Amino acid sequence: MATNTNQVQLNQAAAPEGFESWAWKWMRYSGLLLIPLAWGHVLIQDILVGVHAIDLDYVALRWASLGWRVYDFLLLAFAFAHGVNGLRQVLNDYIRSDTTRKRVTWLLFILWLVLSLIGAAAIVGGVRAP
């Protein structure tokens, strides 16, 4: 049998547990969960229903069922945290100064918190009459 010259010897030493290690795992596990959550959302809203059929009444009807509110809440929580952490990881590849990294991390954390709270408030509060 010919040996595979491309075989890479992986260093299997355990990485130290820490924030980055958790973030690494978070991206993979939340990503796997987001496949049914985000794809389901896209399939229903973008492909089957379509933006021309979506209005305030449609949202109100959908959010009349608690199940869809829970679904949207999970999607908001997992997708946005996955996305903002992804942006943090991309930016960390380009930022060399530790101070800038810390500042950017805090800025992203605040952005994540504010938008998540706004979105969560809307899901809990529901559709109001215009």
Partner 1 sequence: MESLKLNILGMARYRGREGQLSFILHRLAGLGTLLFLAVHILDTSTVYFFPSLYEHAIDIYRSTPFMLGEIALVFAVIYHGVNGARIALFDLFIPDRWNVETQRKSAYWSLGIAIVLWLPAAYMMGRSMLVHNFGL
CA separation for the pair 121, 124 (Å, rounded): 5
Between the alpha carbon of residue 88 and those of residues 20, 46, 80, 109, 113, the distances in Å are 11, 28, 12, 9, 14
Q: Which of 73, 77, 79, 101 lies at the binding interface for partner 1 (CB under 8 A)?
A: 79
Q: Which is nearer to partner 1, 39 or 106 (CB)?
A: 39
Asked if 7 is part of the footprint of partner 1 (rule: CB under 8 A), the reply reads yes
Q: Which is nearer to partner 1, 93 or 98 (CB)?
A: 93
Q: How far is the CB of 125 from partner 1 (least distance, A)?
A: 4
The sign of the torsion formed by the CA atoms of 39, 122, 105, 94 equals positive
Q: Which is nearer to partner 1, 60 or 102 (CB)?
A: 60
CA separation for the pair 127, 123 (Å, rounded): 8
3-state secondary structure of 84: helix
CA separation for the pair 73, 67 (Å, rounded): 10
Asked if 115 is part of the footprint of partner 1 (rule: CB under 8 A), the reply reads yes
Asked if 103 is part of the footprint of partner 1 (rule: CB under 8 A), the reply reads no
| Residue environment code for 92-121, b if the CB has 16+ CB neighbours within 10 A, otherwise e | eeebeeeeeeeebbeeeeeebeeeeeebee
Q: Which of 1, 2, 3, 10 lies at the binding interface for partner 1 (CB under 8 A)?
A: 10
Q: Which of 1, 13, 14, 47 lies at the binding interface for partner 1 (CB under 8 A)?
A: 47
Judged by the rule CB under 8 A, the positions of this chain that interact with partner 1 are: 4, 6-8, 10, 12, 28-29, 31-32, 34-35, 38-39, 42-43, 46-48, 50-52, 54-56, 59-60, 76, 79-80, 83-84, 86-87, 90, 93-96, 111, 115-116, 118-119, 121-122, 125-130
